[in-house]
Amino acid sequence: MTNILLSRSHFSQFKEDLERIILPKHRVVVLAFSFFSKHLRTKEEYESFYHPGQEYRQKINNEFAAYGIKDEQIFWISYYSTTKDEAIKQIKQADILYFPGGAPDQMMDRIEEWDLTEVLEKHRKIYMGSSAGAMIQLETYHISPDQDYKTFRLEKGLNLINDFFIEVHYSKRKKQKKAMRKMRKAYYKPIYSIPDDGCLIVFDGVIRPIHPARQIYTKTGVVKV
């Protein structure tokens, strides 16, 4: 199993590191469940963002195109247009599952609403996610206060990674540092920071940070640099 954890969806910049993982033959399934309900309140607003030909959808397709993957190899699971049976079928056929950024808690709510947790966890091939899509790959993840979440949150994700934590969009903000200290004191697990231009690759349990992503805490304390 491979997990690719990002803060932004611009993963073509890591081609040198990922081209042995993301192959031209791969079939990609994008789970478009991470939208904030306060921003995309209706089916029409949702489709104006995720529908074929729209800017966001084409941006993700273009990122995969850098690895030789064509649009027809990428299947988008729509919250409004895809049936549950079709979603399960596509997830089972996927080589890569991609979780977009957005609202991690709302994405998990929709996964549970559709009863997709088990089929997603059984995938065990390549999981990719940016921001919220990285966070939900952890069995337990935290949300640091920001413009969308006013208070610290501890949430349940998918049971894929449970031996470390991450801080996405890391920019050395005081609230991020405070949140990491809180997680460190509560769990004594390693914590990795992933700035917007960083990436974390986990292959069969081996963790590889791509600069400027790095380990901030070990099990015993702060990493000195």
The string of pLDDT tens digits covering residues 164-220 is 999 999 999 999 999 999 999 999 999 999 999 999 999 999 999 999 999 999 988
Domain membership flag for residue 85 = yes
Which residues does 93 contact at the CB level (< 8 Å), separation at least 6?
27, 29
Q: Which residues span the domain enclosing 209? A: 2-217
Joined tokens for residue 106 = 């709302």
Identify the pLDDT of residue 219.
85
Cis peptide before 190 (omega within 30 of 0): no
Domain membership flag for residue 222 = no
Q: What is the dihedral of CA 2, 6, 8, 14, to 10 degrees?
A: -70
What pTM value is reported for the model? 0.96
Of 84, 35, 30, 89, which is closest to residue 57 (Cα–Cα)? 30
The string of pLDDT tens digits covering residues 69-123 is 999 999 999 999 999 999 999 999 999 999 999 999 999 999 999 999 999 999 9
Domain membership flag for residue 127 = yes
Domain membership flag for residue 55 = yes
Domain membership flag for residue 54 = yes
Identify the pLDDT of residue 108.
98
Strands 74-78, 28-32: parallel, antiparallel or unpaired by DSSP?
A: parallel
Tell me, what CATH number does 155's domain have? 3.40.50.880
Domain membership flag for residue 183 = yes
Contact 63, 28 (CB under 8 A): no
Joined tokens for residue 9 = 């969806």
- How many whole angstroms separate alpha carbon 134 and alpha carbon 67? 20
Identify the pLDDT of residue 221.
77
Domain membership flag for residue 223 = no
